[in-house]
Amino acid sequence: MELLLQQILAGIATGTIYACIALAIVMTYQTIGHLNFAQGEMAMFSTFLAWQLIQWGLPYWTAFALTVALSFAGGVLIERIVLRPIHNAPVLSHVAVFIGLLAILNSLAGFIWDFNVKPFPTPFGTAPLIANGFIDAHQAGMIAVTILLLAFLYGFFRFTRVGLAMRASANDPVSARLVGIRVGWMAALGWGMAAAIGAVAGMMIAPIVFLEPNMMLGVLLYGFAGAVLGGLGSPAGAVIGGLIVGVVENLAGTFIPVVGGELKFTIALAIIVAVLVMKPQGLFGRPVLHRV
Amino acid sequence: MTTLLGGNGAGKTTTLRALCGMIERRGEITFAGRSIARASTEDIVRMGVAHVPDGRGTFVRLTVEENLELGAITRRDRRAIAADLERVYGYFPILQKRRSQQAGTLSGGEQQMLAIGRALMLRPRLMLLDEPSFGLAPRVVQELFAILSTLNKDEGVSLLLVEQNATVALDLADHAYLVETGRIVFSGAARDIRQNEKIRRSYLGY
Amino acid sequence: MPRLNNPRVTLAIIAVALVLPLVIQNFLTFQLTLVLVYAIAIIGLNLLTGFNGQFSLGHSAFYAIGAYVAAMLMDKADFPYAMTLPVAGIACFVFGFLFGLPALRLEGVYLALATFALAVATPQILKLSPLEHWTGGVQGIVVNKPEAPFGLPLTEDQWLYYFTLLITIVMTVLAHNLVASRTGRAMMAIRDNPIAARSMGINIALYKSLTFGVSALYTGVAGALGAIVVQFVAPDSFTFFLSISLLVGLVVGGVGWIPGAFFGGAFVLFVPNLAESFSKGLSGAVYGVMIIVLIYVLPTGAAGLTRAASRWWRAKA
């Protein structure tokens, strides 16, 4: 029982990271209608940036803030420069470009910072937080940061004019144009925010998986799974999806004999696919009605 | 108030879309003395042109009030925006009643009012309306057009009305154009067309 | 879509293909053989994604299944290599068809995720300890390179090239005929407007699943050939990245154009090496840049380029 609880909590803790990546993916999907395969590499690159800033002597939270800001700018630039020319291209062209981005970022990171595994500091320490070591300080910190992030996003979208404009843009770009919203810039903003969220996720998970150019691949996959499970329609769904994936992954690894550890990811995915077959729009997705 | 009349496929909606930069266009388009032939939709809107498209273009997943606020999203004068919101609710009390409801749950007539209300929030100089009477019960149409008339006369908003329902349109408009397969075949005072039986018979079918 | 309507062009290409291995080095022959193998796999993917509109990130799984079926048959049951191809093909067809059934309910990104799950699961399953006796676990299986039959004066690489070329030609012709047939039109109708297709009486469920099966069959045969050519199968050769490579090859060649697969296969095989020769440390970045530039310049891939070229050619004549 104790083990179960501990694993669930640990699952929730890692789940928050998947939730963040899932959130970034959903944001991109909502603003430009495509799944960004390079989301993980962008987050990884941001984390390396943070590491570099810390190496140069900046205190952790300063490096954190600066990295988030730079990642935001980077996301905006990528959308405006790389994605604008293929705005109307078919899905597969977008997929190919994202793959190209993925390759570029991964290779660049390895080139600049090499492929050796590096430790990444945590601002929360690793002392166990509750008596029996159910959860340690860093895991609690991850949950706290994610909650803060969600609160910020909720407030932004609900109560600000820009947030409203972005929502309108994502819902109905044609009508958004008709009220004067610059839809292209809304997409760029969406990318910037997704990049920033990814950076936060990367910096939170790096202390656990250690920093190296391939660190985000697994996390990205889990993030995708969480986003799709949640239904790609809502940030809340993405978060819940990510948390569920984290918990399932942990429980599968711990409790399924023999193959549990080896097949963690496969089992998590199998469950998700099963859910999708029963509910094709994800757990919280609304069925899209087409007029025939 | 000017109306653009014609049958199905005559090119009325296309004309409105071209005016707003939603489709490729060639030639000259001037608004308030400025050429807008190469301007983007967003820029044209910011010059004070509000387009109420066919299909209404409501943001179905956002609330009524959010839809209205979006009409004014390009403006900065917050207090004036709040005042305008109250005014729109004055014209369309049903919208105030449903202000927190999802726009997609409104009836056809209510959505049309919402679309017009949203256009008003821009404080436009010109409003383009594409078939506002479409799919609405006659009594609703009458109410709607009465409000349009008020807007035109009291608020000084110029209206370009595309309509298939010629009777109602001709009752309200000052000037009319008849369009057939992309060409203007007649233009003149609305009153003249209304009274000219030959034209009515051949182009408008009644 | 441009068709290689001109039989002279096609014959010329085949003639060149026949002569090539006799004049080039063995290693290059080996590489060209692999290009053909990838081309078959990409044709398979094209049938599903390009012509039928079902997005698949999971074709590395079918490739892997084909490869392992071939390797296991040759290693454990002493199967002659040529016979492993139909077995691999049928096995993959069944598997693809069965996978296609539940996938019927999934659209777009959701289907992408399901196929993605398949791609990721496959190497993990292949590495499972309980199955090691059959699959060879992490180390995989080594197979022997077949020799030219009837004592023909060909090196093993050359023989394999001709063998693969024959299979490739047959399968390309079959695919071309499939696409041009009523079945092909039904497939494309489903891609373009499923509701209209259904209202015309096309059994969407059947066609979609069949397409999945055929697509898997092609990629499975490619996998089997690949195993024979490379002489080796191991779980980590068939990761998600293979799926991505096939997808890139598909886009480069041109979606919905069968011959594009050859351009795609060549791109997938040679360009990463090319990138590495530009800059060892940044090879991935160069590869990524090349993909992006290609998409900008040739959004319809080699298909678009060929179409433009043939238009120019005809204008001149």
Give A178→chain C minimum CA distance, Å: 29
Q: Is residue C313 part of a domain?
A: no
> Residue C303 falls within a domain, yes or no?
no
Q: At what angle do helices A39-55 and A183-209 cross, to 10 degrees?
A: 60
- Note whether C touches B: 3 CB pairs or more under 8 A: no
Give bridge partners of residue B189 from the DSSP assignment: B175
Angstrom distance (rounded) from CA A103 to CA C287: 7
Q: Is residue A168 part of a domain?
A: yes
B63 forms beta bridges with B102
Q: Would the pLDDT of A227 be above 50?
A: yes
Shortest distance between the Cα of C106 and any Cα of chain A, in A, equals 6
Chains A and B touch (3+ CB pairs under 8 A): yes
Residue A186 forms contact with B (CB below 8 Å): no
Chain A residues in contact with B60 by the CB 8 A cut-off are: 171-172
- Note whether residue C78 is domain-resident: yes
Residue A236 lies inside a defined structural domain of this protein: yes
The whole domain housing C58 covers 7-240
Judged by CB atoms closer than 8 Å, whether chains meet at B42 and A182 is answered as yes
Q: Do C296 and A86 touch (CB under 8 A)?
A: yes
pLDDT of residue A33: 73
Q: Which residues pair with C300 in a beta bridge?
A: none
CATH number, position A232: 1.10.3470
Query: What is the Cα–Cα distance from B83 to B74, expressed in whole angstroms?
Result: 16
Residue C183 lies in a domain: yes
Count the domains in chain C.
1
pLDDT, tens digit (0-9, with 9 covering 90-100), for A17-49: 888 888 888 887 877 777 787 888 899 999 999
User: Inter-chain contact A224–C116, Cβ cutoff 8 Å?
Assistant: yes
Distance CA C56, CA C112 (A): 6
**Per-residue pLDDT tens digits of chain C, which is 317 residues long:** 445 567 777 788 888 888 887 778 888 888 999 999 999 999 999 999 888 888 888 899 999 999 999 988 888 888 888 888 999 999 999 999 988 888 887 777 778 878 888 888 888 888 877 777 777 777 888 887 777 777 777 777 888 888 899 999 999 999 988 888 888 888 888 888 877 888 887 788 888 888 999 999 999 999 999 999 998 888 888 988 899 889 889 988 888 888 889 999 999 999 888 888 887 778 888 888 888 888 888 877 888 888 888 888 788 76
Residue A256 covered by a domain: yes
Mean pLDDT across chain A, nearest whole number?
A: 83
pLDDT score for C43: 94
Please give the helix or strand (H or E) that residue B177 lies within, else none. Answer: strand B175-180
Does the beta-carbon distance from A110 to C244 stay under 8 Å?
Answer: no
How far apart, in Å, are the Cα atoms of C205 and each of A93, A195, A201, C105, C114? 27, 39, 41, 9, 17
What is the pLDDT at residue C93?
A: 94
Complex ipTM, two decimals? 0.85
CA distance A22 to chain C (A): 13
Q: What pLDDT score does C2 carry?
A: 47
Query: Which residue do the tokens 């760029």 mark?
Result: A188
Closest approach of A61 to chain C, Cα-based (Å): 31
Q: Give pLDDT, residue A71.
A: 95
pLDDT of residue A51: 92
pTM of this prediction? 0.81
Q: Does residue A283 sit within a domain?
A: no
Query: Over pLDDT 70: what percentage of chain A?
Result: 92
Confidence of residue B132 (pLDDT cuts 50, 70, 90): confident
CA dihedral B147, B150, B156, B159 (to 10 degrees): 40
- Choose among C120, C128, C248: nearest Cβ to A99: C248
- Tokens, residue A121: 């500091």
Whether A262 is covered by a domain: the verdict is yes
What span, in angstroms and rounded, lies between the C-alpha atoms of B131 and B141?
11
A1 has a pLDDT exceeding 90: no
Give the three-class secondary structure for B205.
coil
Residue A284 lies in a domain: no
Tens-place pLDDT, residues B72-131:
988 888 889 999 999 899 888 888 999 888 888 888 888 888 999 999 899 888 999 888
Average pLDDT, chain C: 85
* Total Cβ atoms within 10 A of residue A162: 14
Q: Which tens digits make up the pLDDT trace of A83-96? A: 888 877 777 888 88
State the sign of the Cα–Cα–Cα–Cα dihedral A8, A10, A13, A17: negative
pLDDT at residue A266 tops 50: yes
- The DSSP-derived string for C284-297 is HHHHHHHHHHHHHH
If DSSP codes are grouped into helix, strand and coil, which group holds residue C9?
helix
For residue range C65-117, what is the model confidence (pLDDT) as tens digits?
A: 999 999 888 888 888 888 889 999 999 999 999 888 888 877 777 788 788 88
A132: domain range? 2-116+125-278
Please check whether residue A289 lies inside any domain of the structure.
no
Contact residues for C182 (Cβ-Cβ < 8 A; gap 6+): none
With cut-offs at 50, 70 and 90, classify the pLDDT of residue A157.
confident
| Calpha distance C88→C74 (Å, rounded) | 12
Contacts of A164 in chain B (CB under 8 A): 62, 66, 69-70, 73
Nearest in space to C141 (alpha carbons), one of C73, C222, C83, C92: C73
Longest dimension (CA), chain B: 52
- In whole angstroms, give the CA distance from residue C38 to residue C222: 7
CB-based contact A245:A219 (threshold 8 Å)? no
Bin C151: left if φ > 0, else alpha if -120 < ψ < 50, else beta.
Answer: left
Which residue in chain A is spatially nearest to B40 when comparing CA positions?
Answer: A177
The mean-pLDDT minimum among B57-71, B178-192, C76-90, C229-243 falls in B178-192
* Number of domains making up chain A: 1
Q: Which of A282-286, B108-112, B141-145, C110-114 has the lowest mean pLDDT?
A: A282-286
Is the pLDDT score of A292 beyond 50? no
Contacts of C110 in chain A (CB under 8 A): 228, 276, 280-282
